[in-house]
Amino acid sequence: MRNALTIDVEDYFQVSAFAAHIQRADWATLPCRVERNVDLILGLLDQRRTQATFFTLGWIAERYPALVRRIADSGHELASHGYAHLRASEQTPEQFSDDIRRSKHLLEQLSGKAVLGYRAPSFSIGARNLQALDSLLDAGYRYSSSIYPIRHDHYGMPDGARFAWRPRGDAGVLELPISTLHIAGRNWPAGGGGYFRLLPYAVSRWALRRINSVDGQAGIFYFHPWELDPGQPRQRGVGFKTRFRHYLNLHRTEGRIGRLLRDFEWGRIDHIFLGNA
């Protein structure tokens, strides 16, 4: 069974956890490392002849158009992560609509390919703002991967479906949640991110195998380019929890991703869930 491998293309200074410490106005003045990190990922994928979905910020695409073209020309799916890494839950409907349309148009202009998918920064679509999915449909998106059915201090919709569903009815966009395990009456993360760095690799491997064999479903896994970059500039003044979550085991991520690519079959979201769209 093929699982969907996804990469949220953003730089280290754009993560939501640093928003209180790094001003957006300063982004353009900071040393960018995303191009180096994405090229590393493209190399890893090429070695295993693996395709993936890259949820890419419009802000990144605007500054690194050649990087966007390399992703598309390598056979990977380009999808939208919004333009400026703004949480969907913190925008007005008008701002959200403008953000998702701007990023979609930019990515399509640069790549020459249709952009079908969207992932909200910090999985910021949930029970309180499901109407955001209507805006995605109106903007021409076919799927979202923005609702994480777990309990988390910054996001999550614990009672959301664990696998592909249409929260707004049969005519709405298809929602594709990050993979979880349902154990002891609760959903537990099983699809990457900080948990992939925190827990031993064997836990992630066991969880994905269980999703494939017991649930009979394709997994959806995600990570960020900055998670493969232990040499990134360290931020001062951040709290212990934020520092722990962001910097833990960065030096191990590249090796773990390599193991993941060897242990499972992977593909693009659109090919696995939408057919060869």
Largest CA distance in the chain: 49
The average pLDDT across 93-114 equals 98
> Above 90 in pLDDT, residue 146?
yes
The average pLDDT across 83-105 equals 97
What local confidence, expressed as pLDDT, does residue 95 receive?
A: 98
What local confidence, expressed as pLDDT, does residue 217 receive?
A: 98
Residue 132: pLDDT band (50, 70, 90) is: very high
What local confidence, expressed as pLDDT, does residue 155 receive?
A: 76
Coil, helix or strand at residue 6: strand
Q: How far apart are the C-alpha atoms of 74 and 251, rounded to whole Å?
A: 26
The average pLDDT across 67-86 equals 98
Residue 152: pLDDT band (50, 70, 90) is: confident
What local confidence, expressed as pLDDT, does residue 277 receive?
A: 42
pTM, full prediction: 0.96
The average pLDDT across 233-246 equals 92
What local confidence, expressed as pLDDT, does residue 151 receive?
A: 83
Q: Are 38 and 74 in contact (CB under 8 A)?
A: no
Comparing 152 with 164, the larger pLDDT belongs to 164
Q: Which segment of 113-122, 123-132, 146-155 scores lowest on mean pLDDT?
A: 146-155
Residue 97: pLDDT band (50, 70, 90) is: very high
Domains of the chain: 2-273 (3.20.20.370)
pLDDT digits (tens, 9 = 90+) for 241-260: 999 999 999 999 999 999 99
pLDDT digits (tens, 9 = 90+) for 14-60: 999 899 899 999 999 999 999 999 999 999 999 999 999 999 999 99
Q: Are 209 and 3 in contact (CB under 8 A)?
A: no
Please state, rounded to an integer, the average pLDDT across all residues of the chain. Answer: 96
SS3 letters for 9-55? ECCHHHCHHHCCCCCHHHHHHCCCCHHHHHHHHHHHHHHCCCCCEEE
Percent of the chain with pLDDT over 90: 94
pLDDT digits (tens, 9 = 90+) for 183-231: 999 999 999 999 999 999 999 999 999 999 999 999 999 999 999 999 9
Question: Whats the size of the chain, residue-wise?
Answer: 277
Q: Which segment of 62-76, 201-215, 229-243 scores lowest on mean pLDDT?
A: 229-243
Residue 93: pLDDT band (50, 70, 90) is: very high
Q: How far apart are the C-alpha atoms of 240 and 247, rounded to whole Å?
A: 11
Q: How far apart are the C-alpha atoms of 264 and 247, rounded to whole Å?
A: 26
CA triplet 151, 157, 160: central angle to 5 degrees?
A: 120
